[in-house]
């Protein structure tokens, strides 16, 4: 599985491709607090950190999308200042956004050269030159793809390779990749890593953001951990770095083996000192009835053989990393997608929802990851709150407005939406208020099982606390709650049990005080297994 051990380690004497020193940036609060780091040519530099650690802010600064308040940026040893991503691109720095900047209807060649098409004057395209250039680029990257194929006919993994080749075409100094493997299968990951290894050997600097320890163990030359805007850990492959001694040792051996990181130490560095959180709602009594039960659930390409049982008044969390099937599972339970296999029971009765209409009728509620998906922007808060419960106050021939107003008022007030917002269109409300509005919807339409996907993403601290109290109140009222979240602290605060998913299977079940951030991190991306495979691959 790992890439065969390969040749030259990065030259420690060469100036870093890009270096940052003392970078400060704050929005409401400081996000980066004097970050100093080097990204060397021929090095795959893994960047880790929990949500809000400052990774994406740092990357945006390097890619020219944000300007730091203090600190310097150096490109190839020279100070640089990017006021716009264009300037970073001109300096050879590109960030690869998953598939966002690809046009599905155009060919591979057209995508690779989009905006830089070879022309023949007068706006005429030189199709032959375009094909040639695309072919050369693909060959250089070692990607076996026909440049004449259309993007939409390719698999996700192939599209990802095209996106990287496009980034490489534009920027030959530093390439930034953010979770590039989340949508890829194992074979596609292997191809991607071969491509990255090839680019690395060509002298490209690569910043690789990912939380998959086992993948990092295969390709990372250096690991840096950000926490609360500070770099709290940095090591080169095989041990202590910074001075490049280890790198030299590898180089003298003629081989470079990206292995031997201390993964438990990295996980500990990511989460920081142990926090004790108070769980918002007491665990349900031992004899509380099982509210929702799932057996042998499977969805091809996402998860298989999944069992799940949630008792009344219990909150069960789903932890993992992007692409592990959590979101798909939540959507299947709510009937937005169909399970390939499995059976579900709600309060003991068969309850495999074939559609969201049936799910709502059975007493399921759902709050999606992206709240814009669930809100009608032009409708007032009241109509949004009652959207799932219209049949309760409207028949075919009559809509009882007073009854609706009463339902809306009750649920909005109980969900902590201030009454001055009730008549406003939901698009003019803040993210936190919008999120509370969705909770109001599932109070107006009482839900026996509430499925929450990232319930506090992008809301401020006060709204987050309010929402957590909302969830606790539902639990006390006897609802079962399923929480999908990448905010590990949130899972600790809310959940009585946490299932850690890995590649579509339950890797570990944690309960009570065993729910710690380290435990969830390591279970989602087990270091032991990663270290093991890397060791095996590291043998000459």
Interface residue list for other proteins (CB under 8 A): 334, 336, 356-361, 366, 368, 372-379, 383-384, 387-388, 390-391, 394-399, 401, 427-428, 441, 445
> Tokens representing 460?
């401020």
Cα three-residue angle 133-135-136, rounded to 5 degrees: 65
Cβ neighbors of 471 (< 8 A, separation 6 or more) are: 280, 281, 315, 450, 452, 455, 481, 483, 494
- Residue closer to other proteins by CB (options 122, 396) is 396
Least separation in angstroms between CB 380 and other proteins: 10
- Residue closer to other proteins by CB (options 200, 371) is 371
Distances, alpha carbon 143 to alpha carbons 158, 277, 345, in Å: 9, 48, 47
Q: Contact at 8 Å (CB) between 535 and 5?
A: no
Transcribe 66-132 into DSSP letters.
S--SEEEEEETTEEE--SSHHHHHHTTEEEE-TTTT--TTSBHHHHHTTT---B-STT-B-HHHHHH
Bridge partner list, 452: 367, 483
Please state, in angstroms and rounded to a whole number, the distance separating the CA atoms of residues 50 and 52.
6
- Residue closer to other proteins by CB (options 388, 515) is 388
Q: Is 478 left (phi over 0), alpha (psi -120 to 50) or beta?
A: left
533 CB neighbour count, 10 Å cutoff: 16
- Residue closer to other proteins by CB (options 67, 357) is 357
Least separation in angstroms between CB 466 and other proteins: 19
Least separation in angstroms between CB 427 and other proteins: 7
Least separation in angstroms between CB 325 and other proteins: 20
Least separation in angstroms between CB 359 and other proteins: 6
DSSP 8-state secondary structure symbol assigned to residue 395: -
- Residue closer to other proteins by CB (options 111, 435) is 435
- Residue closer to other proteins by CB (options 67, 378) is 378
Please state, in angstroms and rounded to a whole number, the distance separating the CA atoms of residues 305 and 123.
56
> Tokens representing 398?
């009559």
Least separation in angstroms between CB 481 and other proteins: 17
Least separation in angstroms between CB 369 and other proteins: 11
- Residue closer to other proteins by CB (options 193, 366) is 366
């Amino acid at each position: 599985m790992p890439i065969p051990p390969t040749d030259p380690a990065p030259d420690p004497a060469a100036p870093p491709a890009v270096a940052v020193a003392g970078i400060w940036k704050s929005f409401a609060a400081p996000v980066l607090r004097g970050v100093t780091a080097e990204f060397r040519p021929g090095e795959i530099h893994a960047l880790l950190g929990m949500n809000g650690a400052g990774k994406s802010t740092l990357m945006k600064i390097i890619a020219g999308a944000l300007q730091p308040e203090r600190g310097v940026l150096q490109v190839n040893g020279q100070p640089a200042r990017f006021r716009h991503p264009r300037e970073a691109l001109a300096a050879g720095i590109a960030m690869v956004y998953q598939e966002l900047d690809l046009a599905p209807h155009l060919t591979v060649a057209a995508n690779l050269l989009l905006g830089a098409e070879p022309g023949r004057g007068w706006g005429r395209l030189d199709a032959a030159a375009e094909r040639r250039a695309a072919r050369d680029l693909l060959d250089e990257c070692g990607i076996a793809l026909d440049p004449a194929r259309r993007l939409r006919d390719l698999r996700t993994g192939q599209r990802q390779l095209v996106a990287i080749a496009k980034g490489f075409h534009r920027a030959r100094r530093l390439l930034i990749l953010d979770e590039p493997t989340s949508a890829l299968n194992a074979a596609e990951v292997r191809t991607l890593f071969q491509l990255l290894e090839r680019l690395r050997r060509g002298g490209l600097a690569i910043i690789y953001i990912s939380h998959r320890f086992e993948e990092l163990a295969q390709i990372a030359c250096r690991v840096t951990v950000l926490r609360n805007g500070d770099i709290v850990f940095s090591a080169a492959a095989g041990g202590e770095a910074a001075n490049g001694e280890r790198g030299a040792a590898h180089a003298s051996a003629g081989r470079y083996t990206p292995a031997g990181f201390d993964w438990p130490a990295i996980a500990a560095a990511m989460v920081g000192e142990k926090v004790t959180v108070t769980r918002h709602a007491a665990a349900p009594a031992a004899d509380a009835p099982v509210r929702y039960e799932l057996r042998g659930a499977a969805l091809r390409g996402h998860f298989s053989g999944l069992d799940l049982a949630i008792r009344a008044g219990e909150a069960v969390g789903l932890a993992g990393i992007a692409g592990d099937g959590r979101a798909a599972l939540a959507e299947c339970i709510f009937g937005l997608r169909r399970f390939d296999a499995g059976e579900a029971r709600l309060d003991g009765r068969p309850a495999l929802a074939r559609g969201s209409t049936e799910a709502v009728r059975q007493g399921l509620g759902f709050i999606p990851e992206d709240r814009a998906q669930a809100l009608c922007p032009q409708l007032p808060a009241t109509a949004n709150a009652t959207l799932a419960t219209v049949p309760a106050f409207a028949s075919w021939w009559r809509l009882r407005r007073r009854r609706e107003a009463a339902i809306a008022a009750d649920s909005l007030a109980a969900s902590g939406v201030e009454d001055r917002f009730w008549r406003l269109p939901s698009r003019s409300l803040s993210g936190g208020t919008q999120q509370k509005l969705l909770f109001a919807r599932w109070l107006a339409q009482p839900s026996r099982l509430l499925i929450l996907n990232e319930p506090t993403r992008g809301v401020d601290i006060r709204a987050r606390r309010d929402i957590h109290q909302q969830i606790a109140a539902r639990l006390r009222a006897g609802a079962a709650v399923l929480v999908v979240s990448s905010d590990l602290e949130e899972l600790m605060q809310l959940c009585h049990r946490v299932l850690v998913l890995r590649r579509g299977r339950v890797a570990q079940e944690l309960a009570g005080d065993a729910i710690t951030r380290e435990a969830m991190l390591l279970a989602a991306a087990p270091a032991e297994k990663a270290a093991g495979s890397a060791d095996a691959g590291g043998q000459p």
